[in-house]
Structure 1
């Protein structure tokens, strides 16, 4: 009987691992698997399409909402570059030989203002879209939000 050496076991395991964990590196198709939070709503349906279906939006309302989303997207891209600078400065502070607490607080406070500005922009977008809706659509929107919030709250207590 032959002795199984560590080298032989290692070689067998290393050759079989790539086939055991075969991973598809291609991106997910639209509506399947993970999807981008900003572009898609529940189960891959784009936000605007879902909103249009649920609230019976007319074509003029859809165009107005698309324009609001386009403007918000360009504003968001500008803020994204500012946020990259913050993260680079934060990494530099963290990886320095000695930690400068005052520099961190100054950097954090400046970024806090950017986060508040981003939250303000999101609120303005939501308000602009809400004001495009008719009074009936606004009521239906409120009911749908309340229903969704109720579902979310029921699911929060699952892991007791």
Structure 2
């Protein structure tokens, strides 16, 4: 750095990073043997998962579903019908939440009149679930028949 050309002339030159125009030499690496040279494969064709023998048995069983009970839905309707729990139990989430909202908000705004009406509707639906084995009240939200 004795030349004037190589000496930094301003403060920006002091903090400037040098530009590398060629890659630095790599250190000598030891030769790593290939995996194919160290592993002994069996002679012939290697079986694959797709080559597994296909069993000629019956179709696999369908996934287990939770079959809902008619008695449970009926008892929830009789005792907690105003809260809409029997509807939520059967998968009718919107109807159950609507009954719950009417019970809470409507009951508060109408001094309990809406809550009494929703409780009466839930009680009657619970009795229908307990007594009817056919029709609309014998299936859940997905159309599966209720057990019991």
TM-score normalised over the length of structure 2: 0.27
Q: Which of the two has higher C-alpha Rg?
A: 2
Between 1 and 2, higher relative CO (CA 8 Å, sep ≥ 6) is seen in 2
Q: Which has the higher helix share?
A: 1
